[in-house]
Amino acid sequence: MEEFKKLTGIVAPVDRVNVDTDAIIPKQFLKRIERTGFGQFLFYEWRFDEAGQDNPEFEMNKPRYQGASVLISRANFGCGSSREHAPWAIMDYGFRVVIAPSYADIFYNNCFKNGILPIKLSETQVDELFSRTAEHDGYTLTVDLENNKLSDNYGLAITFELDEHRRQFLLQGLDDIGLTLQHADEIAAYEERHAAKLFA
């Protein structure tokens, strides 16, 4: 998994509460066996009309948000059924950071396991980000995970909180397997001792 330390990227808004996992990646696309390629289906039923053409009314389709790597949304993001495909789709589309007031627990945990930083801010702070995103074409945020800070080019400075264990996962580019492999020497030594006892 790629390390996450600092990112400066365009912000794209999805101004809706209770964005569920079926909206993030509809169930008909879950049959794919690969872990990649889901980004093309992100927010599929909002991004495209019935003919499969871009829906000009959906925020993310506007030219000013193309190439975005920071997603902002509203409360209870990632609710609904449990599916790891949701963070896969977000990551594959190009987002490395999601900012919202609150998240569904399973989605929140899955983000860290897939290299995405989900940041929780207050409703007031999220409102401010939506306002700034609307006001400035190509609005960018700098996300500094080493110092737990958000900033922009217009004087914004926000400190966010994050569990230290999860923060280290992202800073070091570790998933659960990577964390286990950090103790490979100790595991091998234990297995040798255990094998010696079995065959003694």
Q: CATH number, domain at 131?
A: 3.20.19.10
What pLDDT is attached to residue 82? Answer: 87
Give a yes or no: residue 109 inside a domain: yes
What pLDDT is attached to residue 2? Answer: 85
Q: Which domain holds residue 40?
A: 6-174
What pLDDT is attached to residue 118? Answer: 98
Query: What DSSP state is assigned to residue 147?
Result: T
Give a yes or no: residue 191 inside a domain: no
Give a yes or no: residue 200 inside a domain: no
What pLDDT is attached to residue 62? Answer: 95
**Considering only CA atoms, which of 67, 62, 22, 17 is closest in space to residue 42?**
22
Give a yes or no: residue 188 inside a domain: no
Give a yes or no: residue 39 inside a domain: yes
Helix (H, G, I), strand (E, B) or coil at 27: helix
What's the chain's length in residues? 200
**Considering only CA atoms, which of 83, 2, 85 is closest in space to residue 36?**
85
- Nearest-angstrom CA–CA distance, 6 and 149: 10
- Nearest-angstrom CA–CA distance, 170 and 150: 16
One digit per residue, the tens of pLDDT, for the chain of length 200 reads 889 999 999 999 999 999 999 999 999 998 877 888 999 999 999 999 999 999 999 999 999 999 999 999 999 999 998 889 999 999 999 999 999 999 999 999 999 999 999 999 999 999 999 999 999 999 999 999 999 999 999 999 999 999 999 999 999 987 655 555 454 455 555 566 666 666 55
Give a yes or no: residue 184 inside a domain: no
Give a yes or no: residue 38 inside a domain: yes
Give the pTM: 0.87
Give a yes or no: residue 83 inside a domain: yes
The number of folded domains in the chain is 1
